[in-house]
């Protein structure tokens, strides 16, 4: 809670006055698949990230009248050193994860980056309070 929720809140409180003063801006949070699904053995992380989305939605409603948009991205399985380490030598788990992804692939850090660019750009000027999964379709169902 300290890192994910209170840290994000403190950072937002620090940047919000300048954003409100300009009457323009976009604040983007990094959510998680753990906010969309029940994932075993990460209850504290899931709770913190779920509370985080409540903060995103509330800040979106509070900031909208001041032309400040607030959104979040929920990355899926992204090809990183941490994922490679977690899946090292576990072909069964890797196949299970990929079988649940409609695109049948892991994403790249650039996939998350492009989603962020979109949400922060003028292309999303009428988008606020949303969580955009960048997950190869995992959150769309099985």
Q: What is the pLDDT along the chain (142 residues), one digit of tens a residue?
A: 888 889 999 999 999 888 888 888 999 999 998 888 888 888 999 999 999 899 999 999 999 999 999 999 999 999 999 999 999 989 999 999 999 899 999 999 999 999 999 999 999 999 999 999 999 999 987 5
Question: What is the C-alpha separation between 128 and 130, in angstroms, rounded?
Answer: 6
- For the chain, the maximum distance between any two Cα atoms, rounded to a whole number of angstroms, is 52
What residue numbers bound the domain in which 95 lies? 2-137
- 53 lies in some domain: yes
> Which H or E run includes 134?
strand 131-134
By residue count, the chain amounts to 142
Which tokens in the block code for residue 96? 């299970």
Q: How many CB atoms lie within 10 A of CB 128?
A: 21
Euclidean distance between the first and the last CA atom of the chain, given in angstroms as a whole number? 30
Domain count of the chain?
1
Task: Please report the pLDDT score of residue 142 as a whole number.
Answer: 57
DSSP code of 102?
T
Q: Which of 45, 83, 127, 129 is catalytic?
A: 45
* Whether 5 contacts 44, CB under 8 Å: no
pTM above 0.85, yes or no: yes
Task: Please report the pLDDT score of residue 95 as a whole number.
Answer: 94
- 12 lies in some domain: yes
- 142 lies in some domain: no
* Whether 16 contacts 63, CB under 8 Å: yes
* Whether 116 contacts 71, CB under 8 Å: no
Question: What is the domain-level CATH number for residue 27?
Answer: 3.40.50.720
Task: Please report the pLDDT score of residue 41 as a whole number.
Answer: 83
Question: Is residue 45 annotated as part of the catalytic site, yes or no?
Answer: yes
């Amino acid at each position: 809670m300290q890192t994910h929720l209170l840290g994000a809140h403190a950072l937002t409180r620090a940047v919000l006055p300048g954003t409100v003063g300009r009457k323009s801006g976009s604040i983007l949070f990094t959510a998680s698949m753990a906010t969309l699904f029940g994932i075993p053995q990460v209850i504290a992380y899931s709770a913190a990230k779920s509370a985080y989305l409540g903060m995103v939605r509330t800040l979106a409603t509070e900031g909208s009248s001041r032309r400040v948009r607030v959104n979040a991205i929920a990355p899926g399985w992204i090809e990183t050193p941490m994922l490679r380490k977690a899946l090292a030598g576990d072909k069964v788990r890797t196949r299970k994860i990929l079988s649940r992804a409609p695109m049948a692939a892991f994403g790249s850090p650039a996939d998350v980056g492009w989603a962020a660019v979109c949400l922060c750009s003028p292309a999303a000027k009428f988008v606020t309070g949303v969580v955009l999964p960048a997950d190869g379709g995992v959150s769309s169902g099985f």
